Amino acid sequence: MTKKNRISIEEVKHIADLARIELTAQETKKFASELSDVLGYIDQLSEVDTSKIEPVSQVTGTINAIRDDAKEDSDPDARKALIDNFPNKDGDYIKVKQVM
């Protein structure tokens, strides 16, 4: 980790693009400074010697959890309830904008 973690406006725009979030010009400016502050604070982790440490991604120590490969009846109301949640639909289909 380097001390050079000021985030530019251009970088914020690039990250927003990756994250699929539209930001206003004001938000872009604000995040450039806030993210820089937070990253600056996080920089203190570089003090810790982790050269011989294995990373941890979960704490339970379980490896695989397998259930029986058996049929389970689904909730008969679920289909309609799911469709009711569609913000845009045509009959029972989700309507989206043209991709190509």
Partner 1 sequence: MKLNELNITQACEGLRKKEFSAVELTKSYLSHIKKTDHKIKSFITVTEDEAVKQARQADKRIQNNEMSELLGIPCSIKDIINTKGVLTTAASNILKNYVPVYDATLISRLKKEGTVMLGKVNCDAFAHGASTENSDYFTSHNPWDLERVPGGSSGGSASAVAANQCLYSIGTDTGGSIRQPAAFCNLVGLKPTYGRISRYGLISMTSSTDCPSIIAKRVVDVAIVLEKIAGLDQKDSTTINKKVDDYQEYLKDENIKDLKVGMPSEYFLNELNVEIKEAVEKAIKKIESLGATIVPISLPHTKYAVPTYYIITPCEVSSNLARFDGIRYGYSANGTEEAKNLLDVYTKSRGKGFGNEAKRRIMLGTYALSSGYYEAYYLKAQKVRALIIKDFKDAFEKVDLIISPTTPNVAFKIGQHSGNPLEMYMEDIFLSAVSLAGLPAVSVPCGFVKPSDGEKEMPVGMQLIGKSFDEKTILKVANVYEKNTDWTNQKPKD
Shortest Å distance, C-beta 94 to partner 1: 6
Contact residues for partner 1, defined by CB under 8 A: 1-2, 7, 11-12, 15-16, 18-23, 27, 31, 34-35, 37-39, 41-42, 44-46, 48, 50, 53-60, 62, 65, 67, 75, 77-78, 81-82, 84-88, 94-99
- In whole angstroms, how far apart are CA 23 and each of 5, 10, 14, 33? 21, 12, 11, 14
For tokens 């029986």, the residue is: 68
User: Which tokens hold the place of 86?
Assistant: 């569609």
Q: Shortest Cβ distance from residue 51 to partner 1 (Å)?
A: 9
